[in-house]
Copies of this chain bind each other. A is one copy, B any other.
């Protein structure tokens, strides 16, 4: 279903900058976490739940787990295409998946990140906010 797919998936573009390269000529591996973070929040802006709005409501979303698989290098000036998906959404966490492709449409990196919800004031874990839950109520079982 089109409308459902749009909710789950988003494409983000990133041009590899010179500062991101290393002496191996590669996009240095420490940059991927930042690129994927930009991709997921651009996705959330697109579905009209900007992350800044979530924080304004008193909820922070720190990363609790992340993993990366580096398949091929990316190089300076590459115009990377990142497909972001919501893989899982529970009452306490959200899990994003990323597939990065280069100019030749080759998959060069795959990654996932799990984020928790915490109350800004108490610093304690809290439940998935309604603004997110209501958006995906049909697609995920909230357990």
Contacts and interface: CB of A to CB of B under 8 A. Distances in A.
Contact of A66 (B18, B42, B52, B67): B67
A62 B71 CA distance: 11
Interface stretch (A26-34, A81-89, A97-105, A134-142): A26-34
B66 A62 contact: no
User: In which size bucket is the chain A interface?
Assistant: 35 or more
B37 A17 contact: yes
Interface in A62-99: 62-70, 73, 76-77
A33 B22 contact: no
Given A23-B76, A62-B70, A66-B70, 17 more contacts: A17-B41, A18-B23, A19-B22, A19-B28, A19-B33, A19-B34, A19-B37, A19-B38, A22-B22, A23-B23, A26-B62, A29-B62, A30-B37, A50-B77, A51-B77, A66-B68, A67-B68
